[in-house]
A and B are shown apart, each in its own frame.
Chain A
Amino acid sequence: MSPAAERVTFENLLWITACLALTLLAGSTTLPIWVIATAGAAAAIRLTLAARGRDAPPRSIRFVIAALAIGLLFWQFRTFNGLSAGTALLSLIAGLKLLETRTRRDIHVVTLIIYFLSLATLLQGESFWLLSYLIAVCWLTTATLLRLTSSSRGGDWRGSVRYAGRILAQAVPLAVAAWLFFPRFDSPLWRIPDTGGGAMSGLSDVMSPGDITDLAMSDEVAFRVRFSAGTPPPQERYWRGPVLHQFDGHAWSRTDSRRVRAPVVLFQGPAYEYTVSLEPNQHNWIFVLDWPSRWNAARGALTSDYMLVQDSPISQPMDVVATSYSHVQATEPLSSDMRRSDTQLPTGRNPRSLRLAQQLRSAHPDDLDFVHAVLDMFHTEAFYYTLSPPLLAQDSVDGFLFDSKRGFCGHYASAFAALMRAVGIPARVVTGYQGGTFNRFADYWILRQSDAHAWNEVWIDGQGWLRVDPTSAIAAERVEHGLNDSIATGGPLTSRWQQRTPWLTDTRLRLDALRLLWRQRILGFNQGSQEKLLGLLYIPEPDGQKLALALAVCLISGMSWLTWQVRRELKPRSRDPVNRAYERLCRRLAAVGLQRMPHEGAETFAARVAAARPDLASTVSALCRRYSALRYAAASPAAAAATFIAGVRAFRPRRVRPGRVRPASRVRPGPH
């Protein structure tokens, strides 16, 4: 019987089940619940059977269960190609494999699946903790494998875990070297469709404030920004996201504005240079400060409404270095297409608002005056800012302006744009982020999902697009709790518990600084970083070939180190410090050509050394005499051992050239 065909014990079954459970736990956020439930049920059934000393269920039952589960999976995903579907399929197979586990070979298959599932989970995740957790799970899995292979390791679980840990630790240096120098590719080798829907978070390209009754403020980080030259004041820190043009009377949505070239503008005001570190999301929007002039995103392009987009979703953490100006001056009139789309209003909707706009317009014929009049209205009338507004009917602007008068930035931006359009002023809604939290520990800004904001842009003939933030017009006393907005309060507002526990806020900021470091140094490690690394190693003009060479050198020296390290443990080493010191003494003398013969005692050896090297005579004979005393005298004080060890440590015999003898060695023997 081959070793792989041997039956497994209940204990091993239990451990491999635990390892699989821990792996699935890490992937539980992306896996369908029923896959985890099926795997769990299969493991539970198998363990129950095994505990009663029974074998796996018959083949026919297993086949039916497997066919059903895999069919269901295909029905849900429609494909097995792609990360989510593939991961789910593997999880399912691992669970079902447990059901039929009888021999070691079955467990071997499960360990391989655990390794691959860990990798698949890592491809979707990015945190340091996830990596550490999955490495720990693999450690346990490997320890299980050790127990499975080794018949001699009876109940010694701790020993197995320790040994597997040591092997894992020895694997780290080589892995680090390979990771640093293995060539990276800019684009994937081939594209794998990913149909598995991750949850959408943050902004979307539809804004329908009337449908939201409770705006959840997520602390999730959208992106981080580091300004390299000058930080703009709060009223300039608007991070531009999707621009919405289409209004149906109730909600705003985007039109495809990619086809049209971005209009040329004249940049004015101070320029800000900064690095945006984007978190991966489902969209292809690159958030930049209003108004971007330069950026280094290779696949980024401006739309006609000055939004920076990429041709594919931002699936990896990405750094973009960009320059923006606070003001722009249009150099050409608004195109008729854009004017049409930005003055469009659905006919017959929001009639009360239209009438209000006409009334205001008659008092304020100038466009800018009209804008201020509307803002004044928001300021003086009883408009409230709240995160829990009432639901609005189909004519959402009418409902908001005349009935509820309560809402958040989306309501104000929507109503403002509608009022502008009602009198023929081109207006649009810009969504994005505003403000941010400054991290003083690492000098950058954190923009969270709770910093999401919506504002407007109006076209003023002769000037161009002008940013207007109607939310900021609300009187401070009418701002209800929960507003994390610096515009309304004139400074960063923190929630009450954060004010009470400043150290907690500090800790959070410090942690976030570490997270940014992790993101940039580890997650964002790429060809450029490798070139920088080679530069640090004084390798001129780094290129791919030199990288491969560095990789080869690292691998060869890593393997040599490994061989040395692994064999070193074979050498018998004395546990006794006195013996170790004596061995060291003999090694040092051997290095200068005085090899102790195996039969030679300490004092005989010392006599021979004295004859060959008179300069070393006094030291060596003193040390050897002391060693003999320590070994053979009836009782010796602990201090004597320490003196001996120190004496050996300080003893460094020099190699002499023929014909020249140094007068004395550096070490003077201590008192006996």
Chain B
Amino acid sequence: MTISRRRIYIIPSRFGMALALLLVAMLIAGLNYNSNLGLAFAFLMISLALVAMHHCHRNLLGLGVDVTAEVDALAGEQASFDFVLRNDAGVERCDIEIRCDQATATQSVPPNSYRHAAVNLPVERRGVVRLQRFELRTRYPFGWFRAWTYVQSPLTAFVAPAPRGDRSLPSAAAAGAGSHSDLRGDEDFAGLRAYEAGVPLKHMAWKVLARGGEAAVRSYTGLASQPEWLDWSALERLDTESRLAQLCRWMLESDAAQRPYGLRLPGTEIMPARGDQHRSACLRALAEYPSQANP
């Protein structure tokens, strides 16, 4: 998306207002004393302010901006929107401030280049945070003017519940306390199986691939390779938020242990799998689950 001329607004900042008053005073002083040098200086300063205004406006003009529109987050932490600012111009764009709601990030982009900027929006509660637009601002070069533009691009943060709860994983509960070592299934190599999307890279059988074989994945024995079903219905006697928090915690634990897991919520079932996409899908399901007060 590129910022066009019509969408950029510009007004003097408070400092700029003070400068404007001063410039008027300078002009009057020059006129009153009938001093040509004083007038020359006053006009130079007025002209300087006008040029600065153009430069402030230009700092946003034609700037390209891309953003990851959907991000995942956990309640109580921050949703981090990743922006890419593209500068195709031959001049540097300095101090571009990106504002999403109250969160901001500032970045400068050298000529013919691009830069990433992460805006970390604090999210307190589980749910889906939707922003219809974000703002780009700049006070460059002298802070006399503030130019800004609104980019009408929806941003969504899926805020999963903060992981909480003290119940152990369903599989661990089923196996009992004695077979704890089985959980560390990674070590017990069982054989190769065909590659499927979403498998952690460190499980890839690179040597097989290097020898020219089919892409294969090492698989492991033990309970760890058994899909973990994270089931809403397994958590009776808890309210909705606590259940979701417990599910989230299980999910993150399974993810960390690189076990395939599936998620069952009333009305939703996500088949067991592994990987970032799967994790994201589960987090979103948790985030989007209607809260009790407002189903």
Contacts and interface: CB of A to CB of B under 8 A. Distances in A.
Interface of A: 3-4, 83, 104-105, 108, 112, 115-116, 118-120, 122-123, 125-126, 130-131, 134-135, 138, 142, 145-146, 148-153, 163-164, 167-168, 170-172, 174-176, 178-179, 182, 184-185, 188-190, 192, 316, 522-525, 559, 562-563, 566-567, 569-573
A188 B61 contact: no
15 contacts: A4-B14, A108-B143, A116-B22, A119-B26, A126-B37, A135-B41, A167-B48, A167-B141, A175-B46, A179-B40, A192-B32, A522-B36, A569-B91, A570-B58, A572-B112
B35 A123 contact: yes
B47 interface: yes
A566 B54 contact: yes
Contacts of A4: 14-15, 143
A515 to B, nearest CB: 14
Contacts of A525: 36
Contact of A171 (B34, B48, B139, B141): B48
A602 to B, nearest CB: 23
Contact of B47 (A152, A163, A171, A569): A171
Interface in B1-42: 14-15, 18-19, 22, 25-26, 28-42
B26 A116 contact: yes
Interface in B141-177: 141-143
Contact of A182 (B37, B43, B62): B43
A149 B41 contact: no
Contact of B51 (A170, A182, A523, A571): A170
Given A168-B48, A522-B40, A524-B36, 16 more contacts: A112-B19, A120-B29, A138-B44, A146-B141, A149-B139, A150-B140, A152-B95, A167-B141, A171-B50, A174-B51, A175-B43, A182-B43, A189-B28, A522-B36, A566-B55, A567-B61
A559 B51 CA distance: 9
Closest 8 CB pairs of A and B: A152-B108, A171-B47, A149-B143, A175-B47, A174-B47, A570-B89, A175-B43, A566-B54
Interface in B253-279: none
B73 to A, nearest CB: 25
A570 B142 contact: no
Contacts of A83: 33
A672 to B, nearest CB: 33
Nearest to A569: B91
Where chain A touches its partner, the secondary structure class is helix
A563 B41 contact: no
B192 interface: no
Where chain B touches its partner, the secondary structure class is helix
Given A523-B36, A567-B61, A569-B90, A145 B142 contact: yes
A167 B52 CA distance: 7
Interface size class of B (residues with CB under 8 A): 35 or more
Nearest to A138: B45
Given A149-B140, A152-B108, A571 B26 contact: no
Given A116-B26, A149-B95, A184 B14 contact: no
Interface in B59-81: 61-62
B219 interface: no
A372 to B, nearest CB: 50
A119 B34 contact: no
Nearest to B18: A112
B103 to A, nearest CB: 14
A529 B44 CA distance: 20
Interface string B83-114: 00000111100110000000000101000100
Nearest to B107: A152
Contacts of A131: 37, 40-41
Contacts of A189: 28, 31-32
A572 B28 contact: no
A96 B22 CA distance: 20
A139 B29 CA distance: 21
A122 B141 contact: no
A555 to B, nearest CB: 10
Looking at B18, B33, B140, the one whose CB has the most chain A CB atoms below 10 A away is B33
